[in-house]
Every structure is written in structure tokens, then in C-alpha cells.
Amino acid sequence: MYDKTQTESKKVNIMKALLVLEDGRTFPCQSFTGEGEVFGEVVFNTSMTGYQEILTDPSYCGQFVTMTYPLVGNYGVNPFDVESDKIHVSAFIIKENQRFPSNFKSTKTLELYLKESGILAVDDLDTRALTRHIRSAGAMRAVISTKDLDAASLVKKVKKSREIAGLDLVREVSTKKPYKWYNNRRNFCEKAIEDMGADIFDFRGKKKLVAAFDFGIKYNILRSLVKAGCEVVVVPASTDAETVKAMNPDGIFLSNGPGDPEPVFYAVETIRKLLGFKPIFGICLGNQLLGLALGGKTYKLKFGHRGANQPVKNLITGKVEITSQNHGFAIDLKSFDSKDIMITHMNLNDNTIEGFRHKKYPAFSVQYHPEASPGPHESEYHFYDFVKLMQQ
């Protein structure tokens, strides 16, 4: 249980801060996690819950996340609702921080959680105005500083910072060593993956064996694969096709991940070599990488899709799914001119591709997150479709 004294015993260290966008727009605010100066791409998320899952989603690497829901931190944090081993956002922007949470699972405050990870977080900021500005002008580079409060100085600094487009962020978040997902945790392999081959799996013939590429994988994807009856071995993003073939899995999974898919050329080439070898299932960045491997092209969305309320139409069943999403790039529909590719899902807000499958190869993918945690959960069927494809 959360103990109120853990916050009261720590000195409240609120200080003035300034958020400055690369187009010169400024937003006064205050830091509740201490001093600092950090750069990143500012985006917004429309989810009302799930801030801990958002913070630990590797897909947010290099980004400032703005929560549109005004009160954040009201149910605290706990060790169970994480999607990776650490916080990946560069900074956290909210309207109001709740310092005294109320939830039976809470073990500490959001404030303490962010401080322990060294993450700069600000509140008392007009998040509605910031979101409206991003929707109009697009996601862009930004800086948050408590050290330098001169807007002109910060604009110069932010224009020299790195851009998300053209940047390979996958290398920053992918695992360096392969691991097996047992008992709801990572179990790293003691030997090199090249030395283990097919012996890397323990339940051959008893479960469906999945080699999962880690481009920034979320833990709940692994939980969902295990729930569907799979044994999962997670491999680094740079793993080559020959190594995966030597593992001889029943299926190959392409995970979510951060940033621009085009610089991840090594993964695209690997996927291209694995087409037709075993069934392939991709989510989010995995969807884009599969699209690139099949000859498609990608582009940067104006402000992306980030939230738990994106409507997607399943073109096969005619049903509409409310989905959770987090991506700033998409596949160009016009670039898919092959008759072998079937578009299966479309976003009803902007008509972007949300899913496709190949008619010749056993491969399919979706742009949204069927493993969504905390939800919605109506798209979980994709994991069972993947199992059926492996069984065939």
C-alpha cells in the first residue's frame, strides 16, 4: 500500500520551468522533479488512464509526452503495470500532478517514480493549448529547461537538437542479449544465440515457438503471446535471417518500437529474407517494417496517433474496433501497388492503413496495439490468428 508519509517526508522541490518549441511558441510551467534541461519531440496522448504504461513504452524514446487528461498521478504507480525495464520518455508534461494517490496497488507516487529515474516532469502547463498547437502545427522538436528561462536562447538550442525523422532509435531500446519470457519476466540466455540454434527453445512440439524481434517490445505483447499458447524467445533487432532460420521457430514476431522505420534498414533486409520461411506477425513499427520489406514506403504523420480511442474498421468483418495506438509514421497507401497485398484495416479518422496481409506469404500486421494495456482489449484476436497461421 502507498504510505502518505513517503511524500511528506521529502522536501517539495517545485521550480520554474519553460517549454519552448522550435517554432518559437513558449509555455511557462513548473518542474516537480527537480532541475534540468532536456530536448525531444513533443507529442500528445489522449488516454485517460495508463500513464505508467505510457512512460515505460519504448516507442516513446526521444519524446516529450503531453497527457491531455488534466489530472495525472491520482492512482500512483506500482511494479506490475510497466511495459519495459525503465522509463523511456525524455520528459513528461501534465496539467496537474496528484501528490497523494489513492489505489490499493499503489506503492509510490508518480512524482517519486519520475525522480528516481531522473526524468524531468512539469505541470501547471496549459496542456489544452499545447495539444491544439501540435494538432495545428504538427509534432516538433522542443526543449524544457529550469536552468535557462530565456526563450530566444532556448529556440537556438532546440534548432540544433536531433530530429526524429531519419534517426534510428531502435538501436537505443533493443535488447543486447536474447532472452526467454518465463514467469512474467525476462530470463536472459547464457550462451550466444548463434551457438544455441534450435536448442534455444524448451517446449518444441508442445507449444508454438516464436522468435520475437525486439525493436522496442512491450511486456504485454509477450504476455499476450504466452497467453495464446506460445513459447517466446526475444532476439535483438540486429539479428540476421540466418540466425533466425537456425532457431527454426514456428513463427516470427515483429515488435513495436520508436521513431522512423526507414533508418532501420538492417531489419527490413532481414524481414525480406524471412518472407515465406515461417508465418510473420507485426505490430506498430513491425507493421511499417514489414511494409517496407514488401516494397512499400512510409511517411511522417503530422501529429501521429497516440491514445486509447482510435477507431479502426476491419475491412474483412466490417466491424469497428476502438484501439490503442502510439506511432508517428505510417505506410503510404499509394505505395502498395502489389496485387498480392490485401489491406485489412483502416483508420476511420484519417483513412491511414491500420493493417494488411500478404496473399502469397503467411504474413500479416497491424498498426495499432492489440495487446493494449490497460485497454481496450477487443483486438486480442490477432494473437490467436497468429497461432492458427502457425498451426496451418
Instruction: Report the residue count for the chain.
Output: 392
Q: Which long-range contacts (CB under 8 A, 24 or more apart) does 333-339 make?
A: 335/291, 335/295, 335/296, 335/297, 336/291, 336/294, 336/295, 336/296, 338/294, 338/295
Alpha helix segments (H runs only) across 67-200: 110-116, 127-137, 151-159, 170-173, 193-196
Strands 91-93 and 320-331: unpaired
CB of 335 closer than 8 Å to CB of 342:
no
Opening angle at CA 354, ends 349 and 360, nearest 5:
150
Q: Which of 125, 80, 98, 123 is nearest to 7 (CA)?
A: 98
Helix, strand or coil, per DSSP, at residue 391: helix
Catalytic residue among 111, 321, 354, 371: 371
CB atoms < 10 A from the CB of 281, how many?
28
Q: Could you tell me where the beta strands, DSSP code E, fall in 221-375?
A: 230-236, 251-254, 280-283, 298-314, 320-331, 341-347, 353-358, 363-366
Rounded to an integer, what distance in angstroms lies between the CA atom of residue 363 and that of residue 110?
40
Residue type, 25: R
Q: Which of 355, 389, 53 is nearest to 228 (CA)?
A: 389
Catalytic residue among 53, 284, 305, 354: 284
- Is 371 in the active site? yes
CB of 74 closer than 8 Å to CB of 100:
no
CB atoms < 10 A from the CB of 322, how many?
16
- Is 354 in the active site? no
- Is 269 in the active site? no
Which residues are designated catalytic?
284, 369, 371
